[in-house]
Structure 1
Amino acid sequence: MADPNGILLVDKPGGMTSHDVVARARRALGTRKIGHAGTLDPMATGLLVLGIGGATRLLTYLVGLDKTYTATVRLGQSTDSDDADGQITARAAASALAAVTDDRIAAGVAALTGSIAQVPSRISAIKVDGRRAYDLARDGVEVDLKARDVRIARFEVLATHAGDGCLDLDVVVDCSSGTYIRALARDLGDRLGVGGHLVALRRTRIGPFPVADAAGLDELAGAPLRSPADTAAAIMPAVRADAATARDLRHGKRVTALDFTGPRAAAIDPDGRLIGVVERRGDQVKSVMNMPEEPA
Protein backbone atom coordinates (compact mmCIF):
# COMPACT_ATOMS: atom_id res chain seq x y z
CA MET A 1 0.00 0.00 0.00
CA ALA A 2 1.40 3.40 -1.03
CA ASP A 3 2.21 5.92 1.65
CA PRO A 4 -0.38 8.72 1.91
CA ASN A 5 0.48 11.79 -0.14
CA GLY A 6 -1.64 14.90 -0.48
CA ILE A 7 -3.23 17.86 1.24
CA LEU A 8 -5.74 17.41 4.06
CA LEU A 9 -8.10 20.15 5.25
CA VAL A 10 -8.94 19.86 8.95
CA ASP A 11 -11.48 21.75 11.04
CA LYS A 12 -9.57 22.29 14.29
CA PRO A 13 -11.64 22.41 17.48
CA GLY A 14 -10.91 24.82 20.31
CA GLY A 15 -8.62 23.84 23.16
CA MET A 16 -6.05 22.08 20.97
CA THR A 17 -2.77 23.28 19.53
CA SER A 18 -2.00 22.87 15.84
CA HIS A 19 0.69 20.38 16.88
CA ASP A 20 -1.99 18.34 18.68
CA VAL A 21 -3.93 18.11 15.40
CA VAL A 22 -0.81 17.01 13.52
CA ALA A 23 -0.22 14.30 16.13
CA ARG A 24 -3.80 13.05 15.71
CA ALA A 25 -3.39 13.00 11.92
CA ARG A 26 -0.13 11.04 12.19
CA ARG A 27 -1.88 8.33 14.18
CA ALA A 28 -4.95 8.30 11.93
CA LEU A 29 -2.98 8.11 8.68
CA GLY A 30 -0.10 5.96 9.88
CA THR A 31 2.69 8.32 8.86
CA ARG A 32 4.97 10.77 10.63
CA LYS A 33 5.59 12.91 7.55
CA ILE A 34 2.94 15.58 8.18
CA GLY A 35 3.29 19.35 8.44
CA HIS A 36 0.88 22.27 8.51
CA ALA A 37 0.56 25.60 6.70
CA GLY A 38 0.07 28.14 9.47
CA THR A 39 -0.82 27.61 13.11
CA LEU A 40 -4.00 28.41 14.99
CA ASP A 41 -3.97 29.38 18.66
CA PRO A 42 -5.50 26.84 21.04
CA MET A 43 -8.57 29.06 21.61
CA ALA A 44 -9.15 29.36 17.85
CA THR A 45 -11.13 26.96 15.70
CA GLY A 46 -11.34 26.39 11.98
CA LEU A 47 -9.26 25.57 8.96
CA LEU A 48 -5.86 23.98 9.31
CA VAL A 49 -4.14 22.79 6.11
CA LEU A 50 -1.96 19.70 6.51
CA GLY A 51 0.59 18.40 4.03
CA ILE A 52 0.94 14.61 4.02
CA GLY A 53 3.97 12.73 2.69
CA GLY A 54 5.67 14.33 -0.28
CA ALA A 55 2.98 17.02 -0.39
CA THR A 56 4.64 18.68 2.62
CA ARG A 57 6.85 20.31 -0.04
CA LEU A 58 3.82 22.34 -1.15
CA LEU A 59 3.27 23.89 2.27
CA THR A 60 5.71 26.71 1.61
CA TYR A 61 3.40 27.90 -1.20
CA LEU A 62 0.28 27.65 0.98
CA VAL A 63 1.56 29.55 4.02
CA GLY A 64 1.43 32.94 2.31
CA LEU A 65 -2.14 32.71 1.00
CA ASP A 66 -4.70 35.25 2.21
CA LYS A 67 -7.21 34.19 4.85
CA THR A 68 -10.71 34.82 6.18
CA TYR A 69 -11.67 34.81 9.85
CA THR A 70 -14.83 35.31 11.84
CA ALA A 71 -14.20 36.66 15.31
CA THR A 72 -15.69 38.32 18.36
CA VAL A 73 -13.98 41.46 19.67
CA ARG A 74 -14.73 42.51 23.24
CA LEU A 75 -14.53 46.27 23.79
CA GLY A 76 -14.11 47.63 27.29
CA GLN A 77 -11.42 45.24 28.55
CA SER A 78 -7.73 44.82 27.74
CA THR A 79 -5.69 41.68 28.45
CA ASP A 80 -1.98 40.97 28.55
CA SER A 81 -2.26 38.57 25.59
CA ASP A 82 -4.83 40.55 23.56
CA ASP A 83 -7.18 37.57 23.79
CA ALA A 84 -9.38 35.77 26.30
CA ASP A 85 -6.58 33.42 27.39
CA GLY A 86 -4.76 36.30 29.09
CA GLN A 87 -5.25 38.24 32.31
CA ILE A 88 -7.41 41.38 32.28
CA THR A 89 -5.15 44.40 32.67
CA ALA A 90 -7.65 47.27 32.32
CA ARG A 91 -11.40 47.91 32.30
CA ALA A 92 -13.07 50.91 30.71
CA ALA A 93 -15.33 53.20 32.70
CA ALA A 94 -19.04 52.85 31.96
CA SER A 95 -19.13 56.42 30.66
CA ALA A 96 -16.31 55.73 28.18
CA LEU A 97 -18.03 52.61 26.90
CA ALA A 98 -21.36 54.43 26.58
CA ALA A 99 -19.62 56.93 24.29
CA VAL A 100 -18.71 54.18 21.81
CA THR A 101 -21.31 54.75 19.10
CA ASP A 102 -21.88 52.84 15.89
CA ASP A 103 -20.35 55.74 13.96
CA ARG A 104 -17.20 55.68 16.09
CA ILE A 105 -16.89 51.92 15.66
CA ALA A 106 -17.29 52.28 11.90
CA ALA A 107 -14.58 54.96 11.83
CA GLY A 108 -12.25 52.79 13.90
CA VAL A 109 -12.83 49.79 11.64
CA ALA A 110 -12.24 51.92 8.52
CA ALA A 111 -8.93 53.14 9.92
CA LEU A 112 -7.81 49.51 10.32
CA THR A 113 -8.84 48.50 6.79
CA GLY A 114 -6.52 48.50 3.80
CA SER A 115 -2.73 48.48 4.01
CA ILE A 116 -1.72 49.07 7.63
CA ALA A 117 1.34 48.73 9.86
CA GLN A 118 0.50 46.29 12.65
CA VAL A 119 2.46 45.55 15.81
CA PRO A 120 1.94 41.85 16.60
CA SER A 121 0.75 40.73 20.00
CA ARG A 122 3.53 40.18 22.55
CA ILE A 123 2.14 36.64 22.88
CA SER A 124 3.03 35.60 19.33
CA ALA A 125 5.27 33.10 17.57
CA ILE A 126 7.54 35.78 16.10
CA LYS A 127 11.19 35.15 16.91
CA VAL A 128 13.22 37.77 18.78
CA ASP A 129 16.95 37.00 19.03
CA GLY A 130 16.20 33.37 18.28
CA ARG A 131 13.38 32.93 20.82
CA ARG A 132 9.61 33.02 20.36
CA ALA A 133 7.98 36.22 21.62
CA TYR A 134 5.51 34.22 23.72
CA ASP A 135 8.35 32.40 25.50
CA LEU A 136 10.05 35.70 26.31
CA ALA A 137 6.79 37.19 27.56
CA ARG A 138 6.14 34.20 29.83
CA ASP A 139 9.64 34.64 31.28
CA GLY A 140 8.83 38.26 32.10
CA VAL A 141 11.07 39.71 29.38
CA GLU A 142 9.81 42.94 27.81
CA VAL A 143 9.53 42.40 24.06
CA ASP A 144 9.68 45.27 21.58
CA LEU A 145 8.10 43.92 18.41
CA LYS A 146 8.38 45.92 15.22
CA ALA A 147 5.35 46.89 13.15
CA ARG A 148 4.75 44.78 10.06
CA ASP A 149 2.92 45.72 6.88
CA VAL A 150 -0.29 43.73 6.42
CA ARG A 151 -3.37 44.18 4.28
CA ILE A 152 -6.94 44.03 5.57
CA ALA A 153 -9.18 43.66 2.52
CA ARG A 154 -12.36 43.47 4.62
CA PHE A 155 -13.08 44.29 8.27
CA GLU A 156 -16.83 44.22 8.75
CA VAL A 157 -18.98 44.32 11.88
CA LEU A 158 -21.80 41.79 11.57
CA ALA A 159 -23.50 42.28 14.96
CA THR A 160 -23.05 43.97 18.35
CA HIS A 161 -23.93 42.67 21.82
CA ALA A 162 -23.85 44.79 24.99
CA GLY A 163 -23.62 43.41 28.51
CA ASP A 164 -21.50 42.93 31.65
CA GLY A 165 -19.73 46.24 31.21
CA CYS A 166 -18.49 45.32 27.73
CA LEU A 167 -19.51 45.61 24.11
CA ASP A 168 -18.94 42.56 21.89
CA LEU A 169 -18.59 42.89 18.12
CA ASP A 170 -19.01 39.91 15.80
CA VAL A 171 -16.75 40.62 12.83
CA VAL A 172 -15.45 39.07 9.63
CA VAL A 173 -11.93 39.79 8.35
CA ASP A 174 -10.29 39.08 5.00
CA CYS A 175 -6.55 39.63 5.38
CA SER A 176 -3.08 38.91 4.16
CA SER A 177 -0.93 36.20 5.67
CA GLY A 178 0.82 37.33 8.83
CA THR A 179 -2.10 39.40 10.14
CA TYR A 180 -2.89 39.02 13.84
CA ILE A 181 -6.62 39.28 14.53
CA ARG A 182 -5.82 39.69 18.23
CA ALA A 183 -3.85 42.79 17.33
CA LEU A 184 -6.81 44.13 15.32
CA ALA A 185 -9.03 43.70 18.39
CA ARG A 186 -6.46 45.44 20.60
CA ASP A 187 -5.96 48.31 18.16
CA LEU A 188 -9.68 48.87 17.62
CA GLY A 189 -10.18 49.08 21.38
CA ASP A 190 -7.28 51.50 21.71
CA ARG A 191 -8.65 53.74 18.95
CA LEU A 192 -11.97 53.88 20.73
CA GLY A 193 -10.33 54.62 24.07
CA VAL A 194 -11.82 51.63 25.88
CA GLY A 195 -9.39 48.78 25.23
CA GLY A 196 -10.25 45.56 23.48
CA HIS A 197 -9.33 41.93 23.11
CA LEU A 198 -10.36 38.84 21.17
CA VAL A 199 -12.79 36.37 22.74
CA ALA A 200 -13.52 34.07 19.77
CA LEU A 201 -11.74 33.30 16.50
CA ARG A 202 -12.51 30.94 13.63
CA ARG A 203 -10.54 30.62 10.40
CA THR A 204 -12.98 29.95 7.58
CA ARG A 205 -10.73 30.15 4.50
CA ILE A 206 -7.12 29.87 3.37
CA GLY A 207 -6.70 30.96 -0.25
CA PRO A 208 -9.21 28.94 -2.32
CA PHE A 209 -9.80 26.38 0.44
CA PRO A 210 -12.92 26.79 2.65
CA VAL A 211 -13.46 25.26 6.06
CA ALA A 212 -16.70 23.78 4.69
CA ASP A 213 -14.53 21.23 2.84
CA ALA A 214 -12.54 20.28 5.95
CA ALA A 215 -12.72 17.05 7.93
CA GLY A 216 -13.38 16.88 11.65
CA LEU A 217 -10.92 15.22 14.01
CA ASP A 218 -12.95 12.01 14.10
CA GLU A 219 -12.96 11.80 10.29
CA LEU A 220 -9.21 11.99 9.61
CA ALA A 221 -8.64 8.31 8.85
CA GLY A 222 -11.20 8.25 6.04
CA ALA A 223 -10.89 11.81 4.81
CA PRO A 224 -9.96 12.20 1.13
CA LEU A 225 -6.61 13.82 0.39
CA ARG A 226 -6.36 16.52 -2.26
CA SER A 227 -3.77 15.52 -4.83
CA PRO A 228 -0.61 17.62 -5.05
CA ALA A 229 -1.45 18.45 -8.68
CA ASP A 230 -4.99 19.67 -7.91
CA THR A 231 -3.75 21.64 -4.90
CA ALA A 232 -0.96 23.37 -6.78
CA ALA A 233 -3.24 24.16 -9.73
CA ALA A 234 -5.69 25.82 -7.31
CA ILE A 235 -3.11 28.34 -6.08
CA MET A 236 -1.02 29.07 -9.18
CA PRO A 237 -1.21 28.67 -12.97
CA ALA A 238 -0.86 25.09 -14.21
CA VAL A 239 1.07 24.05 -17.29
CA ARG A 240 1.16 20.62 -18.96
CA ALA A 241 4.51 19.06 -19.81
CA ASP A 242 5.08 16.20 -22.23
CA ALA A 243 6.95 13.11 -21.08
CA ALA A 244 10.36 14.30 -22.26
CA THR A 245 9.96 17.73 -20.64
CA ALA A 246 8.72 16.15 -17.43
CA ARG A 247 11.79 13.90 -17.33
CA ASP A 248 14.13 16.85 -17.88
CA LEU A 249 12.48 18.90 -15.14
CA ARG A 250 12.71 16.02 -12.69
CA HIS A 251 16.41 15.72 -13.50
CA GLY A 252 16.98 19.41 -12.75
CA LYS A 253 17.38 20.52 -16.37
CA ARG A 254 16.15 23.82 -17.75
CA VAL A 255 13.58 23.62 -20.53
CA THR A 256 12.07 25.95 -23.11
CA ALA A 257 8.87 24.07 -23.98
CA LEU A 258 6.62 25.55 -21.27
CA ASP A 259 4.68 28.81 -21.40
CA PHE A 260 2.71 30.33 -18.52
CA THR A 261 1.69 33.65 -17.04
CA GLY A 262 3.09 34.87 -13.74
CA PRO A 263 6.26 34.22 -11.73
CA ARG A 264 5.70 30.49 -11.23
CA ALA A 265 3.49 27.60 -12.27
CA ALA A 266 2.58 24.06 -11.35
CA ALA A 267 4.06 21.68 -13.91
CA ILE A 268 1.85 18.63 -14.53
CA ASP A 269 3.02 15.50 -16.35
CA PRO A 270 0.97 13.56 -18.97
CA ASP A 271 -0.42 11.27 -16.23
CA GLY A 272 -1.78 14.22 -14.24
CA ARG A 273 0.93 14.06 -11.56
CA LEU A 274 2.62 17.15 -10.17
CA ILE A 275 6.21 17.37 -11.36
CA GLY A 276 6.88 20.41 -9.22
CA VAL A 277 6.81 24.20 -9.18
CA VAL A 278 8.63 25.92 -12.01
CA GLU A 279 9.92 29.45 -12.46
CA ARG A 280 11.38 31.38 -15.37
CA ARG A 281 15.12 31.71 -15.79
CA GLY A 282 15.47 34.16 -18.68
CA ASP A 283 13.92 32.46 -21.72
CA GLN A 284 14.04 29.08 -20.00
CA VAL A 285 12.07 27.40 -17.21
CA LYS A 286 13.51 25.53 -14.24
CA SER A 287 11.89 23.50 -11.49
CA VAL A 288 12.46 25.17 -8.09
CA MET A 289 10.61 22.47 -6.17
CA ASN A 290 10.37 18.89 -7.38
CA MET A 291 7.84 16.46 -5.97
CA PRO A 292 8.84 12.87 -5.21
CA GLU A 293 7.76 10.93 -8.28
CA GLU A 294 4.42 9.21 -7.70
CA PRO A 295 3.51 5.87 -9.24
CA ALA A 296 1.48 6.27 -12.43
Structure 2
Amino acid sequence: MTSHDVVARIRRLAGTRKVGHAGTLDPMATGLLVIGVDSATRLLHHLVGLDKEYLATVRLGWGTTTDDAEGEALPAASADVVAAIERDLVIDRMAALTGVIEQVPSAVSAVKVDGKRAYQRVREGEQVELKARTVTVAAFELLDVRPGDGCLDLDVRVACSSGTYVRALARDLGAALDVGGHLTALRRTRIGRFDVAEAGELEGFDVAARRLSPSDAARRTLPVVEIGADAARDLRHGKRIAAPADADAVAGPMAAIGPQDVLVAIVERRGPQLKVVTGFPAEEGA
Protein backbone atom coordinates (compact mmCIF):
# COMPACT_ATOMS: atom_id res chain seq x y z
CA MET A 1 0.00 0.00 0.00
CA THR A 2 1.31 3.45 -0.91
CA SER A 3 0.84 6.70 1.00
CA HIS A 4 -1.51 7.77 -1.84
CA ASP A 5 -3.61 4.65 -1.22
CA VAL A 6 -3.93 5.62 2.45
CA VAL A 7 -5.08 9.13 1.53
CA ALA A 8 -7.70 7.65 -0.82
CA ARG A 9 -9.00 5.43 1.99
CA ILE A 10 -9.20 8.35 4.44
CA ARG A 11 -11.06 10.44 1.85
CA ARG A 12 -13.79 7.81 1.77
CA LEU A 13 -13.88 7.45 5.55
CA ALA A 14 -13.89 11.20 6.21
CA GLY A 15 -16.31 12.02 3.39
CA THR A 16 -14.12 14.77 1.96
CA ARG A 17 -11.67 15.20 -0.91
CA LYS A 18 -9.55 17.57 1.15
CA VAL A 19 -7.05 15.08 2.62
CA GLY A 20 -3.26 15.05 2.49
CA HIS A 21 -0.29 13.48 4.26
CA ALA A 22 2.91 14.80 5.83
CA GLY A 23 5.58 12.72 4.11
CA THR A 24 5.56 9.70 1.81
CA LEU A 25 6.39 6.22 3.06
CA ASP A 26 7.94 3.71 0.65
CA PRO A 27 5.45 0.97 -0.33
CA MET A 28 7.53 -1.62 1.60
CA ALA A 29 7.53 0.53 4.75
CA THR A 30 5.08 0.47 7.64
CA GLY A 31 4.39 2.76 10.56
CA LEU A 32 3.32 6.33 11.08
CA LEU A 33 1.65 8.49 8.44
CA VAL A 34 0.29 11.83 9.63
CA ILE A 35 -2.88 12.81 7.76
CA GLY A 36 -4.47 16.23 7.44
CA VAL A 37 -8.22 16.55 6.86
CA ASP A 38 -10.07 19.65 5.62
CA SER A 39 -8.38 22.92 6.67
CA ALA A 40 -5.78 21.00 8.70
CA THR A 41 -4.13 20.14 5.37
CA ARG A 42 -2.73 23.67 5.63
CA LEU A 43 -0.57 22.50 8.54
CA LEU A 44 1.05 19.64 6.60
CA HIS A 45 3.64 21.87 4.95
CA HIS A 46 5.07 22.60 8.41
CA LEU A 47 5.24 18.90 9.34
CA VAL A 48 7.22 17.75 6.31
CA GLY A 49 10.51 19.14 7.63
CA LEU A 50 10.28 17.61 11.12
CA ASP A 51 12.84 15.04 12.26
CA LYS A 52 11.92 11.35 11.98
CA GLU A 53 12.59 8.09 13.80
CA TYR A 54 12.60 4.60 12.31
CA LEU A 55 13.08 0.97 13.25
CA ALA A 56 14.74 -0.92 10.42
CA THR A 57 16.49 -4.13 9.43
CA VAL A 58 19.72 -3.95 7.44
CA ARG A 59 20.84 -7.12 5.66
CA LEU A 60 24.61 -7.39 5.22
CA GLY A 61 26.01 -9.65 2.52
CA TRP A 62 24.93 -7.99 -0.72
CA GLY A 63 23.51 -4.77 -2.04
CA THR A 64 20.63 -4.24 -4.44
CA THR A 65 19.86 -1.87 -7.29
CA THR A 66 17.37 0.02 -5.11
CA ASP A 67 19.19 -0.33 -1.77
CA ASP A 68 16.21 -2.28 -0.42
CA ALA A 69 14.64 -5.72 -0.79
CA GLU A 70 12.57 -4.70 -3.83
CA GLY A 71 15.62 -4.26 -6.09
CA GLU A 72 17.72 -6.76 -8.00
CA ALA A 73 20.51 -8.35 -5.98
CA LEU A 74 24.09 -7.28 -6.69
CA PRO A 75 27.04 -9.73 -6.34
CA ALA A 76 27.18 -11.20 -2.84
CA ALA A 77 30.14 -11.26 -0.47
CA SER A 78 31.64 -14.54 0.71
CA ALA A 79 29.50 -16.17 3.41
CA ASP A 80 32.66 -16.71 5.51
CA VAL A 81 33.55 -13.02 5.32
CA VAL A 82 30.04 -12.01 6.38
CA ALA A 83 30.00 -14.53 9.25
CA ALA A 84 33.31 -13.15 10.53
CA ILE A 85 31.98 -9.59 11.01
CA GLU A 86 32.15 -8.68 14.69
CA ARG A 87 29.53 -6.65 16.52
CA ASP A 88 32.09 -4.04 17.67
CA LEU A 89 33.13 -3.42 14.06
CA VAL A 90 29.50 -2.91 13.04
CA ILE A 91 29.01 -0.41 15.87
CA ASP A 92 32.20 1.42 14.85
CA ARG A 93 31.09 1.74 11.22
CA MET A 94 27.61 2.85 12.31
CA ALA A 95 29.17 5.56 14.48
CA ALA A 96 30.94 6.92 11.38
CA LEU A 97 27.52 7.34 9.75
CA THR A 98 26.15 9.28 12.74
CA GLY A 99 26.04 13.04 13.16
CA VAL A 100 26.10 15.60 10.35
CA ILE A 101 27.04 13.62 7.23
CA GLU A 102 27.05 13.94 3.44
CA GLN A 103 24.64 11.33 2.03
CA VAL A 104 23.99 10.39 -1.59
CA PRO A 105 20.26 9.51 -1.89
CA SER A 106 19.27 6.20 -3.45
CA ALA A 107 19.00 6.44 -7.25
CA VAL A 108 15.48 5.00 -7.00
CA SER A 109 14.13 7.86 -4.89
CA ALA A 110 11.73 10.78 -5.16
CA VAL A 111 14.55 13.31 -5.51
CA LYS A 112 13.92 15.48 -8.58
CA VAL A 113 16.51 15.68 -11.37
CA ASP A 114 15.72 18.45 -13.87
CA GLY A 115 12.05 18.37 -12.88
CA LYS A 116 11.61 14.60 -13.00
CA ARG A 117 11.73 12.12 -10.11
CA ALA A 118 14.94 10.07 -10.01
CA TYR A 119 12.99 6.79 -9.86
CA GLN A 120 11.12 7.73 -13.04
CA ARG A 121 14.41 8.28 -14.86
CA VAL A 122 15.76 4.93 -13.61
CA ARG A 123 12.60 3.15 -14.79
CA GLU A 124 13.09 4.72 -18.21
CA GLY A 125 16.57 3.23 -18.40
CA GLU A 126 18.60 6.32 -17.56
CA GLN A 127 21.76 6.20 -15.46
CA VAL A 128 21.11 8.51 -12.51
CA GLU A 129 23.83 9.92 -10.29
CA LEU A 130 22.55 12.10 -7.48
CA LYS A 131 24.56 14.69 -5.60
CA ALA A 132 25.35 14.24 -1.91
CA ARG A 133 23.27 16.28 0.50
CA THR A 134 23.90 17.23 4.10
CA VAL A 135 21.71 15.35 6.58
CA THR A 136 21.81 14.77 10.32
CA VAL A 137 21.67 11.28 11.79
CA ALA A 138 21.09 11.90 15.50
CA ALA A 139 21.07 8.17 16.33
CA PHE A 140 22.09 5.02 14.46
CA GLU A 141 21.71 2.38 17.14
CA LEU A 142 22.28 -1.37 16.88
CA LEU A 143 19.47 -3.26 18.63
CA ASP A 144 20.12 -6.87 17.58
CA VAL A 145 22.29 -9.04 15.32
CA ARG A 146 20.77 -12.12 13.64
CA PRO A 147 22.99 -14.41 11.54
CA GLY A 148 21.32 -15.84 8.42
CA ASP A 149 22.16 -17.93 5.39
CA GLY A 150 25.11 -16.04 3.92
CA CYS A 151 23.94 -12.82 5.51
CA LEU A 152 23.81 -10.90 8.75
CA ASP A 153 20.61 -9.07 9.71
CA LEU A 154 20.93 -5.99 11.89
CA ASP A 155 17.93 -4.54 13.69
CA VAL A 156 18.59 -0.82 14.11
CA ARG A 157 17.00 2.40 15.32
CA VAL A 158 17.53 5.57 13.32
CA ALA A 159 16.68 9.11 14.39
CA CYS A 160 17.37 11.59 11.62
CA SER A 161 16.60 14.86 9.92
CA SER A 162 14.02 15.13 7.18
CA GLY A 163 15.46 14.09 3.83
CA THR A 164 17.62 11.29 5.23
CA TYR A 165 17.34 7.97 3.39
CA VAL A 166 17.55 4.95 5.71
CA ARG A 167 18.06 2.82 2.59
CA ALA A 168 21.20 4.83 1.86
CA LEU A 169 22.43 4.24 5.43
CA ALA A 170 22.02 0.48 4.84
CA ARG A 171 23.90 0.76 1.55
CA ASP A 172 26.72 2.83 3.05
CA LEU A 173 27.07 0.60 6.11
CA GLY A 174 27.41 -2.44 3.87
CA ALA A 175 30.02 -0.62 1.78
CA ALA A 176 31.96 0.42 4.91
CA LEU A 177 32.09 -3.24 5.96
CA ASP A 178 33.08 -4.37 2.43
CA VAL A 179 30.20 -6.84 2.17
CA GLY A 180 27.34 -4.83 0.68
CA GLY A 181 24.07 -4.07 2.42
CA HIS A 182 20.43 -3.26 1.81
CA LEU A 183 17.24 -2.60 3.73
CA THR A 184 14.74 -5.42 4.30
CA ALA A 185 12.31 -3.74 6.72
CA LEU A 186 11.45 -0.16 7.63
CA ARG A 187 8.95 1.18 10.17
CA ARG A 188 8.50 4.89 10.87
CA THR A 189 7.82 5.35 14.56
CA ARG A 190 7.92 9.12 14.97
CA ILE A 191 7.54 12.39 13.07
CA GLY A 192 8.55 15.30 15.30
CA ARG A 193 6.25 15.00 18.34
CA PHE A 194 3.79 12.64 16.61
CA ASP A 195 4.37 9.05 17.75
CA VAL A 196 3.11 5.82 16.19
CA ALA A 197 1.99 4.64 19.64
CA GLU A 198 -0.83 7.23 19.44
CA ALA A 199 -1.89 6.28 15.92
CA GLY A 200 -4.80 4.09 14.92
CA GLU A 201 -4.56 1.19 12.48
CA LEU A 202 -6.04 1.87 9.07
CA GLU A 203 -8.29 -1.18 9.22
CA GLY A 204 -11.43 -0.03 11.03
CA PHE A 205 -10.06 3.51 11.36
CA ASP A 206 -12.42 5.98 13.07
CA VAL A 207 -11.65 9.43 11.66
CA ALA A 208 -13.78 11.38 14.14
CA ALA A 209 -12.34 9.56 17.16
CA ARG A 210 -8.74 9.93 15.98
CA ARG A 211 -8.77 13.55 14.86
CA LEU A 212 -6.51 15.88 16.79
CA SER A 213 -7.65 19.46 17.22
CA PRO A 214 -5.82 21.91 14.94
CA SER A 215 -4.38 23.65 18.00
CA ASP A 216 -3.01 20.35 19.38
CA ALA A 217 -1.37 19.55 16.04
CA ALA A 218 0.00 23.08 15.79
CA ARG A 219 1.43 22.99 19.33
CA ARG A 220 3.36 19.84 18.41
CA THR A 221 4.69 21.41 15.24
CA LEU A 222 5.40 25.11 15.76
CA PRO A 223 6.24 27.67 18.44
CA VAL A 224 3.01 29.08 19.87
CA VAL A 225 1.92 32.63 20.54
CA GLU A 226 -1.23 33.06 22.66
CA ILE A 227 -3.52 35.90 21.55
CA GLY A 228 -6.70 37.50 22.79
CA ALA A 229 -10.12 37.79 21.16
CA ASP A 230 -9.44 41.20 19.55
CA ALA A 231 -6.16 40.04 18.01
CA ALA A 232 -7.83 36.85 16.78
CA ARG A 233 -10.56 38.89 15.07
CA ASP A 234 -7.98 41.15 13.42
CA LEU A 235 -5.94 38.22 12.11
CA ARG A 236 -9.09 36.65 10.65
CA HIS A 237 -9.68 39.89 8.78
CA GLY A 238 -6.16 39.76 7.38
CA LYS A 239 -4.85 42.56 9.57
CA ARG A 240 -1.45 42.59 11.24
CA ILE A 241 -1.24 42.62 15.02
CA ALA A 242 1.39 43.81 17.47
CA ALA A 243 3.79 40.97 18.28
CA PRO A 244 3.42 39.82 21.91
CA ALA A 245 6.57 39.65 24.01
CA ASP A 246 6.69 35.83 23.82
CA ALA A 247 7.19 36.09 20.04
CA ASP A 248 10.43 38.06 20.32
CA ALA A 249 12.74 35.04 20.24
CA VAL A 250 11.03 33.28 17.31
CA ALA A 251 12.37 33.86 13.79
CA GLY A 252 10.12 31.55 11.73
CA PRO A 253 6.44 30.63 11.58
CA MET A 254 4.33 30.55 14.76
CA ALA A 255 0.90 29.20 15.60
CA ALA A 256 -1.39 31.97 16.83
CA ILE A 257 -3.86 30.36 19.24
CA GLY A 258 -6.78 32.32 20.57
CA PRO A 259 -9.41 31.94 23.33
CA GLN A 260 -10.96 28.48 23.82
CA ASP A 261 -7.74 26.97 22.41
CA VAL A 262 -8.71 27.79 18.82
CA LEU A 263 -6.03 27.86 16.10
CA VAL A 264 -6.49 31.21 14.36
CA ALA A 265 -3.54 31.38 11.97
CA ILE A 266 0.06 30.58 11.22
CA VAL A 267 1.89 33.90 11.49
CA GLU A 268 5.34 35.33 10.90
CA ARG A 269 7.03 38.36 12.34
CA ARG A 270 7.27 41.50 10.23
CA GLY A 271 9.18 44.03 12.32
CA PRO A 272 7.14 44.72 15.48
CA GLN A 273 4.05 43.01 14.03
CA LEU A 274 2.74 39.55 13.19
CA LYS A 275 1.45 38.84 9.69
CA VAL A 276 -0.85 35.98 8.63
CA VAL A 277 0.84 33.30 6.53
CA THR A 278 -2.02 30.78 6.68
CA GLY A 279 -5.47 31.47 8.12
CA PHE A 280 -7.91 28.92 9.51
CA PRO A 281 -11.72 29.20 9.32
CA ALA A 282 -13.21 29.96 12.73
CA GLU A 283 -15.54 26.95 12.59
CA GLU A 284 -12.64 24.58 11.83
CA GLY A 285 -9.93 26.16 14.00
CA ALA A 286 -11.68 24.66 17.04
Q: TM-score range by the shorter chain?
A: over 0.9
Counterpart check, 1:268 vs 2:257: yes
Structure that is richer in strand per residue: 1
2:235 aligned partner: 249
SS of 1:91's partner is coil
Counterpart check, 1:238 vs 2:233: no
Q: State the one-letter code of the partner of 1:38.
A: G
Query: Where do residues 101-116 of structure 1 align in structure 2 (5 Å cutoff)?
Result: 101-116=86-101
C-alpha separation in 1, matches of 2:198 and 2:171: 31
Alpha carbons 1:245, 1:257 under 8 Å: kept: no
1:212 aligned partner: 197
> Which of 2, 5, 9 does residue 24 from structure 1 map onto?
9
Change (3 A) 1:257 1:140: closer
C-alpha separation in 1, matches of 2:122 and 2:210: 40
TM-score in terms of structure 2 length:
0.95
C-alpha separation in 2, matches of 1:175 and 1:219: 31
For structure 2, list consecutive stretches of 5 or more residues without a partner in the other structure: none
Counterpart check, 1:49 vs 2:34: yes
Change (3 A) 1:157 1:283: same
Alpha carbons 2:243, 2:269 under 8 Å: kept: no
2:280 aligned partner: 291
> Which of 138, 157, 171 does residue 123 from structure 2 map onto?
138
- After TM superposition, give the deviation of residue 277 of structure 1 in Å: 1.2
- After TM superposition, give the deviation of residue 271 of structure 1 in Å: 2.9
1:185 aligned partner: 170
For structure 1, list consecutive stretches of 5 or more residues without a partner in the other structure: 1-15
TM-score in terms of structure 1 length:
0.92
- After TM superposition, give the deviation of residue 291 of structure 1 in Å: 1.5
Alpha carbons 2:11, 2:18 under 8 Å: kept: yes
Counterpart check, 1:152 vs 2:137: yes
Which aligned runs of 4 or more in structure 1 are off by greater than 3 angstroms?
Answer: none
Alpha carbons 2:243, 2:272 under 8 Å: kept: no
Q: State the one-letter code of the partner of 2:212.
A: R
- After TM superposition, give the deviation of residue 97 of structure 1 in Å: 1.5
Counterpart check, 1:280 vs 2:269: yes
Counterpart check, 1:38 vs 2:23: yes
> Which of 152, 159, 184 does residue 167 from structure 1 map onto?
152
Number of residues of Structure 1 aligned to a counterpart in Structure 2: 281
Cα offsets for 1:43-93 (capped at 9, x unmatched) = 100000000000000001101111110000000011000000111012011
SS of 1:79's partner is coil
SS of 2:204's partner is helix
C-alpha separation in 2, matches of 1:163 and 1:268: 54
Q: State the one-letter code of the partner of 1:75.
A: L
C-alpha separation in 1, matches of 2:173 and 2:6: 31
Query: Where do residues 119-134 of structure 1 align in structure 2 (5 Å cutoff)?
Result: 119-134=104-119
Alpha carbons 2:83, 2:147 under 8 Å: kept: no
1:86 aligned partner: 71
> Which of 76, 81, 88 does residue 96 from structure 1 map onto?
81
SS of 1:169's partner is strand
Q: State the one-letter code of the partner of 2:153.
A: D
Q: Percent identity?
A: 59
Alpha carbons 2:83, 2:152 under 8 Å: kept: no
- After TM superposition, give the deviation of residue 94 of structure 1 in Å: 2.3
Range with bigger deviation, 94-103 or 32-41: 94-103
Alpha carbons 2:54, 2:157 under 8 Å: kept: yes
